[in-house]
Amino acid sequence: MFDKRVFSILVSCVWGAIGGLGSVHMARAQTVDSQEGGLSLQEVTVTARRKEESLQETPVAVTAVTGELLDKLNIQDVTRVSELAPNLTIAHQTASTTSTSIQIRGIGQTEPAATAEQGVGLYLDGVYIARTNGAVFDLVDLERVEVLRGPQGTLFGRNTTGGAVQLVSKKPADAFGIDEKLGYGRFNDWYTRTRLDTGYLFGSPVKAAVAYLHRERDGYVDNTLAPSDYDPGAFDNNAVWLALTGDFTERFRASFAFDWNRRNGAPAFFQLTAASPDAAAYYGSSPVFGGAPFVVSSHYLRTVQQSSWDGKFDAPSETLGYNLTLEGDIKEGLALKSISSYRSFEQDPVGVQTGNGVMRGVVLDPVTFAPSIRDLYGPYAQFHSPQRQFQYSEELQLIGSAKQWSYIVGLFYFYERAAEFNNQRFTVVLPGGQAGLNIAALQAFGGETESVAGFGQLSYQPAAFDERLELTGGLRYTQDDKKFWSLAFPDDPGAKSFSNLSWLASSSYRLTEDVMAFARVSTGYKAGGFSPRSDVRADFKPETATAYELGLKAEWLDQRLRTNLSFFQTDYEDLQVPVFRAGAQGLSSIVQNAGEATIRGLELEVVLALSEGLKLDAAYGYTDPEYDVYLFRDPVTNLVRNVADQARFLNVPKNSLHVGAEYNRQFSIGQFSARLDWFDRGERYFAPLDFVSVFNEQVKDPGTENLRARIALSEMPLGSGTWEVALWGDNLTDHDNVGYGIDFGGLGVGGVSFTEPRRYGLDVRLKF
C-alpha cells in the first residue's frame, strides 16, 4: 500500500541528491532536448494503430517504455515492465521459469495450462505470441515496449480483451558498431550481452545485427538440500537475436528476424503459509518417523529445505521464432505489408511445491489400506511435465492515405498446436490427520486452434475543422476453430467453432497545438474453448468486452510538461474465470463463464523537465472491478446462486504508482547520471471465492514495494569508442514482495512464492 510518508521521504532524498547541481536527462519514454527558449520533451513514436505515429496524436491509452530505460533498470524480461506502466500486472507462475500471468485493467489469464488462452495479447515485432507459457523470455535488445490498455479487438484481434503488450526490437544500424555490456551482482549474478551491427554489407542495401546474451546466477533462497546453482531462483540462460533488413528499391523493403532463448533454472521457492488442522497434525508428526520437520510461516524464509523430484531441481525451456516482413509501396500513399512467422516453445517444468524437505508419515495402501511408514509425496509436486507448442501466422496489411482519409485493411491467419503431459505426485491427508494416501496421477491434454480474421479501420479528418478533428471506425470479423483432447476422457474429444465481430468508434479533437481530447468505444473478444484440467469435457463460451474511454493528452510549459489522462469503464459478458481445485484426482481447474462484470478506473502519466538536466516522471493507475453477476454451482447441492458480492478478481490491485527521477550532468571526463525509482502496488488475491479457497487471505499479496537506484558515469573516451560504469540497487528497502500464491484447498495447505530480496551490482559497457 502506498504511504504518503514514504513518498515524502522519497522526494526529500531526490532533492537532497540533486539540489544545486544543475542539469539532468531522465527518461521514461522520452529524452530532453535543448532548444531556443528552453527545454522540450522529445516526440515519442508508437505503433498502437499498426502504423508509426506520435504518442500524443494517438487516441489510445498507451505507455511507451524505451529500451534505454529498460537497460538502465536492468530489466531483462517482460515481468518487470509492470512497474513502469499503470494498471499493468505481470507475475511469474510458480512451477516454471517462462510462464507468466498478465493483467491489464483487471483482465488477463492466470491458468498456465498449455492450451489456455490469454486475455492480454503479447506481440514481438508484430507477431502474436499465443501462450502465457513461453511468454517470459530474455529481452536481448529492445527499442521500446508499448502497453496498450483496453480492448484492442479491431486491429489486434482475438484475446485482447484486456489490452496488448508490444515488444519492438532495435533495428540494425547503418554503420558498423560493437556494443558490449557486462555486469555482476549479488547472488553471484553475472551476465554478458554483445551486439554487433555490420552496417551495409559489401555495398549492398542489406544491413544486419546480431546480439547474444548469457546470464546466470545462484538462487536467492538457500535450499540446504540443493547446490547453490540449483537454489530457488537460480538460472543459466542463453539468448540469441539476429536481424537482417534491406531497402532493395525505393518501393520495396524486407526484414528478417530470428530469436532463440534457452532458459534453465530452479523456480522460486514455494513457501507454505497456511495449513488445515488435519494437515498440520499429519505433516507435523514427520520428525517422529525420521522425516523432515513441517514448516509453515507467513514470514519470508531465506534458508529452507526443498525436496527434489528424484534429484531434479531444474526446469529447462526453449523458445524459437522466425519473422519475415515484406513491405511494398504500390503508389504514393498506398503500401502493402506482409508479416509471416513461425514460433515454437517447449519446457519441462518442475513444481515441487511442498515447501519442505522429505517428510515421512503413516501411508495407507490405496488397494488394501494396509498402513506403512513412507516418504510422503506431498503436499504436492510435479515433474517431467513437458509442454510443447508451435504456431505459424500470416498477416497482410494494406495501408493507405488520401487527402483527409487514412485507412488500414487486412487479413490474418493463425494456426497452432499445443500439448501438455503433467506428471503429479501428492499426498491426500485423511480426516483426523493420522494417515494419508500417496497418489501419482497423469494429466495429459492438448489441442489445436485455427483462426482466420479480416479487419479494417478508417480515419477521417474533415477540412472544415482545420484537420483538428479525427473520426475513426473499425471492424474485425474472427472465426476460430478449436479441437481438444484429454487422457481423462479419451472417447470424448471436443471440437467447437466460435466467431465474433469486434468494432471500434473513436473521435479526437486537438483543442490546441499541444492538447488533444479523445473519446473511444471499443470491443474485444476472447475465444471460448475447453477446460484443460477438467476430469470431464467441459467447454466454455467466448468472453466479450465493451470499453468506454475518455482521454486527454497534453503538453504544457513549452512542451516541458506532459500529462496523459484516461478514464475508462469496461463491461464484460461471460467473463472467463478459472476455478482452481485440488483433491484426490490431482490439481484441476474449471474455466467458468462466471457472468457479467464492470470495471472502472483511471490512469495518469506525467513527465516533467524541471531544468536542462532534471526530469521527473510518474504513472498512477486505479482499477475498481465489480461483478454484476457471478453464478456459482454448489458441488454438493447442485444449486446455482449469484455470489457477485463475494467474488474477487484475480491478480488485480486497485492502485499502482511509479515515481522516477533522473539527473544528468556533463563533465570533461564523461556524463554523470543518477536515477531513483519507487514502485508501489496494492494487494492482490489469487482465487475468486473465499468460501471455496479457504486460505485465500493467507496466500494473497498484501502489497508490493520496490525502490531502485542507479548512478553511472558514461561517454568516457576509450580509443575510438566510449565506455560506461554504473552501480545499481534493486529492492533497496528489502521488502518482502509476494510474486504469486496458491491455495491447494483439498490438500489442506496454501502458500506463496516471494520475489528477490535486496540486490545490488556493477555494470560496465563499451561501445565502438
pLDDT per residue as tens digits for the range 528-575 = 999 888 888 888 999 999 999 999 999 999 999 999 999 999 999 998
Q: Tell me, what's the pLDDT at 135?
A: 64
Task: Name the band, by pLDDT with cuts 50, 70 and 90, for residue 1.
Answer: very low
Residues 228 and 183: their CA atoms lie apart, in Å, by 20
**Backbone φ and ψ of 104, nearest 5°:** -130, 130
Residues 573 and 31: their CA atoms lie apart, in Å, by 42
- 267-320 pLDDT, tens digit each: 899 999 999 999 999 999 999 999 999 999 999 999 999 998 888 888 899 999
Kindly state the average pLDDT of the residues 165-179: 94
For residue 457, pLDDT over 70 is answered with: yes
Q: Tell me, what's the pLDDT at 586?
A: 56
User: What Rg, from alpha-carbon coordinates, does the chain have?
Assistant: 26
Winning range, highest mean pLDDT, from 102-111, 489-498, 725-734: 725-734
Burial degree of 640 (CB within 10 A; 0-12, 13-18, 19+): exposed
Kindly state the average pLDDT of the residues 84-93: 88
End-to-end CA separation in angstroms for the chain: 45
Q: Tell me, what's the pLDDT at 28?
A: 36
Q: Tell me, what's the pLDDT at 662?
A: 96
Q: Tell me, what's the pLDDT at 668?
A: 92
Q: Tell me, what's the pLDDT at 683?
A: 96
Kindly state the average pLDDT of the residues 470-476: 97
Cis peptide before 431 (omega within 30 of 0): no
Of 34-48, 676-690, 739-753, the least confident: 34-48
Q: Tell me, what's the pLDDT at 14?
A: 35
Q: Tell me, what's the pLDDT at 746?
A: 84
Higher pLDDT among residues 551 and 593, named by residue: 551
Q: Tell me, what's the pLDDT at 384?
A: 72
Kindly state the average pLDDT of the residues 468-481: 96
Report the SS3 class of residue 543: strand
Which of the listed CATH numbers 3.40.50.2300, 2.60.120.10, 2.70.70.10, 2.40.170.20 matches domain 4-767? 2.40.170.20
Amino acid at 765: R
Which residues, including other chains, have CB under 8 Å from residue 385's CB and lie 6 or more apart?
A: 95, 348, 349, 351, 420, 421, 422, 423, 424
Kindly state the average pLDDT of the residues 409-428: 93
Q: Tell me, what's the pLDDT at 580?
A: 65
From the list 264, 67, 75, 268, the residue with the least C-alpha distance to 183 is 75
Q: Tell me, what's the pLDDT at 76?
A: 79
Q: Tell me, what's the pLDDT at 534?
A: 81
CB atoms within 10 A of CB 635: 8
For residue 471, pLDDT over 70 is answered with: yes
Report the SS3 class of residue 197: strand
- Whether the Cβ atoms of residue 171 and residue 208 lie closer than 8 Å to each other: no
Residues β-bridged to residue 244? 208, 256
Residues 452 and 107: their CA atoms lie apart, in Å, by 24
How is residue 406 written as a grid cell? 487514412
Kindly state the average pLDDT of the residues 241-252: 95
Q: Tell me, what's the pLDDT at 208?
A: 97
Task: Name the band, by pLDDT with cuts 50, 70 and 90, for residue 8.
Answer: very low
From the list 168, 149, 143, the residue with the least C-alpha distance to 102 is 149
- Whether the Cβ atoms of residue 704 and residue 680 lie closer than 8 Å to each other: yes
Question: Which alpha helices (H) appear in 420-503, and where do they start and end?
Answer: none
Higher pLDDT among residues 707 and 133, named by residue: 707
Residues 148 and 556: their CA atoms lie apart, in Å, by 24
Residues of the chain above pLDDT 70, percent:
93
How is residue 3 written as a grid cell? 504511504
Kindly state the average pLDDT of the residues 626-645: 86
